[in-house]
Amino acid sequence: MSRVLVVNTGSSSIKYQLFEMDPQKVLASGLVERIGEAGSKLTHRAGDAEPLVVEERVTDHSDGFDRVFKAFENAGGPITDLAGIGHRVVHGGDRLTAPTLVDDATIQAIADQAPLAPLHNPPNLLGIRIAMASFPETPQVAVFDTAFHQTMPPRAYRYALPADLAGELRIRRYGFHGTSHAYVSRKAAEHLGRPAGELNLVTLHLGNGASVAAVAGGRCIDTSMGLTPLEGLVMGTRSGDLDPAVVFYLHREAGLSVDDIDDLLNKRSGMLGMAGANDMREVARLVADGDEAATEALDVYCYRIRKYVGAYAAALGRLDALVFTAGIGENNDAVRAGVCQGLEGLGVVLNAKRNKGRPKSPRTISADDSPVAVLVVPTNEELEIAEQTLAVVRG
């Protein structure tokens, strides 16, 4: 039993990868999109074969999983030899602080966190329930996006709110993208040939959602996302940090409701709101065409990251490496250059030539004499979930 199926069940999607872990290899992967909507489809890829695309009405998540299992039978063979199934779960709150074998108590605990992640935890749980019914003999493991950040001290995770209210409603900073921050911190240490326990890192996960973590000796001591993924950096469609009074002002002056403001700050702000495009490739095209709004938005984007790097260098006391990852961190050298610009005083010196391109494996992009190493480390959240699942299953 050396295979692990990794499942990420969203509100309208199911992403999956089947790994052989010994030796490590992706056997198949795929995605069911737009579940319950017009234009729903399944894309399944087995090994190096051409992807199998099935465009059909996928009515609900159960139907979606049935189609995934059927796709395996049609391409790659049925799913056998499973050591475990690993599920991505967004919010573990402050109780679920490590990958956990799923039993009734875990299910209840994930359900208890649902008010903190109403769009994510219920579909995550649905995926777990369906997988348990389909593979009753196979251990299921929940891996939490928040877990890596549970080592933050109170000075980093507390908001300055009345203690009783914050305690009762569990209002504090949790942080997200933990699986990615954990994976790239470990890979960065391997790449540098130094024990993770000796290194102080700032990891920058820059995808559609984006977050920074300060990692001291392999443990997270601070991160930019908070109670929800809205806090922190400028993102594709999220505003990131904002004076909370903007919310009251929007309500009073523009007559927006709480739901309107939620939608505005999560789905219509960030790069989309400022530049008119949330995809950084589109923003880059606009900048190249001389578009002023896009140019300014990109400047805001990089400046916000730079401020966090400075803040986290102070939080860590000493910075050994700055690590870029995810869609933008791995592929956009202009953003990497924009972030590092002016950080020489903190010991961050980029090598322009090394910074070019899209490395597919960990690469150093700083100058030889840069006191702080700057790295690009491609993330792989699925593999991290598979490894953590196997570790839990094998005890």
**Which residues contact ligand ADP by CB under 6 A?**
207-209, 236, 279-281, 326-328, 331-332, 358
Q: Give least dist CB 164 to ligand ADP, A.
A: 36
260 is catalytic: no
Q: Give least dist CB 326 to ligand ADP, A.
A: 4
Q: Which is nearer to ligand ADP, 101 or 293 (CB)?
A: 293
Instruction: Look at residues 154, 197, 150 and name the one whose alpha carbon lies nearest to residue 176.
Output: 150
The single-letter code of the amino acid at 79 is I
272: left (phi over 0), alpha (psi -120 to 50) or beta: alpha
Q: Give least dist CB 267 to ligand ADP, A.
A: 14
Q: Which is nearer to ligand ADP, 15 or 149 (CB)?
A: 15
Q: Give least dist CB 236 to ligand ADP, A.
A: 6
Alpha carbons 234 and 224: distance in angstroms, whole number = 11
Instruction: Look at residues 157, 159, 139 and name the one whose alpha carbon lies nearest to residue 148.
Output: 157
Q: Would strands 3-9 and 82-89 be described as parallel, antiparallel, or unpaired? A: parallel
Residue number with the smallest Cβ distance to ligand ADP: 327
DSSP string over 300-322: HHHHHHHHHHHHHHHHHSS--EE
Q: Which is nearer to ligand ADP, 327 or 338 (CB)?
A: 327
Alpha carbons 81 and 64: distance in angstroms, whole number = 22
The one catalytic residue in 81, 104, 145, 369 is 145
Going from the C-alpha of 134 to that of each of 10, 65, 71, 179, the distances in angstroms are 18, 9, 15, 26
Q: Give least dist CB 9 to ligand ADP, A.
A: 15
Q: Which is nearer to ligand ADP, 280 or 375 (CB)?
A: 280
Q: Which is nearer to ligand ADP, 280 or 287 (CB)?
A: 280
Q: Which is nearer to ligand ADP, 192 or 233 (CB)?
A: 233
CB-based contact 379:184 (threshold 8 Å)? yes
Q: What is the 3-state secondary structure (H, E, C) of 118-166?
A: CCCHHHHHHHHHHHHHHCCCCCEEEEECCHHHHHCCHHHHCCCCCHHHH
Contacts of 288 (CB under 8 A, 6+ apart): none
Q: Give least dist CB 89 to ligand ADP, A.
A: 16
Q: Give least dist CB 390 to ligand ADP, A.
A: 23
Q: Which is nearer to ligand ADP, 116 or 272 (CB)?
A: 272
Alpha carbons 104 and 142: distance in angstroms, whole number = 12
Q: Which is nearer to ligand ADP, 224 or 332 (CB)?
A: 332
Q: Give least dist CB 7 to ligand ADP, A.
A: 16
Q: 173: helix, coil or strand? A: coil
Beta bridge partners of 348: 372
Instruction: Look at residues 122, 98, 102, 141 and name the one whose alpha carbon lies nearest to residue 5.
Output: 141
CB-based contact 19:4 (threshold 8 Å)? yes
Instruction: Look at residues 35, 79, 78, 75 and name the one whose alpha carbon lies nearest to residue 52.
Output: 75
Alpha carbons 33 and 57: distance in angstroms, whole number = 10
CA angle, 94 then 201 then 175, to 5°: 25
Q: Catalytic site residues?
A: 145
